């Protein structure tokens, strides 16, 4: 569902999910972290992060000790718009339980080090994706 919505909005399959994740993560943000959290290719994540940087929504986080491109999200209209689009897309899956699904999704995306408790019977997969 989110991937189809992402294609309609951005003409990119994962841009909405990646932007949603980035909007909710603490810095630093880097491609491998995003790819692992969303179970996508690292090159795909890196490409999207570079696009967000180009838009002015991310800034590189300089590090003398780390070869990764580290980013920090900066205030930008994109983040609020993406959160609304993700929430609306999730609520469309099951309007009666939409708020619970939204909470479960953001918990799964933000708290990636702990088990991901999701309500039974929803359409979120183990990676926090909605099909």
Looking at the domain assignment, is residue 47 inside a domain? Answer: yes
Looking at the domain assignment, is residue 127 inside a domain? Answer: no
Domain tally for the chain? 1
Kindly report the CATH number assigned to the domain that includes residue 63. 1.10.10.10
* Per-chain mean pLDDT for the chain: 82
For residue range 44-53, list pLDDT tens digits in order: 999 999 999 9
pLDDT for 13: 84
pTM: 0.77
Please state, in angstroms and rounded to a whole number, the distance separating the CA atoms of residues 96 and 34: 30
Question: Which H or E run includes 50?
Answer: helix 42-55
Residue 60, domain extent:
2-110
Is 60:53 a contact under the CB 8 Å cutoff?
yes
Looking at the domain assignment, is residue 129 inside a domain? Answer: no
């Amino acid at each position: 569902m989110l991937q189809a919505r992402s294609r309609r909005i951005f003409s990119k399959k994962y841009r909405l999910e990646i932007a949603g994740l980035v909007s909710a993560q603490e810095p630093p943000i880097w491609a491998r972290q995003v790819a692992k959290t969303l179970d996508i290719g690292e090159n795909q994540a890196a490409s999207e992060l570079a696009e967000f940087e180009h838009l002015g929504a991310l800034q590189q986080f300089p590090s003398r000790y780390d070869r990764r491109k580290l980013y920090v999200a900066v205030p930008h209209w994109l983040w609020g718009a993406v959160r609304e689009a993700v929430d609306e897309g999730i609520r469309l899956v099951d309007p009666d339980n939409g708020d619970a699904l939204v909470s479960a999704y953001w918990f799964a995306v933000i708290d990636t080090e702990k088990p991901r408790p999701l309500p039974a019977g929803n359409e979120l997969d183990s990676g926090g994706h909605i099909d």
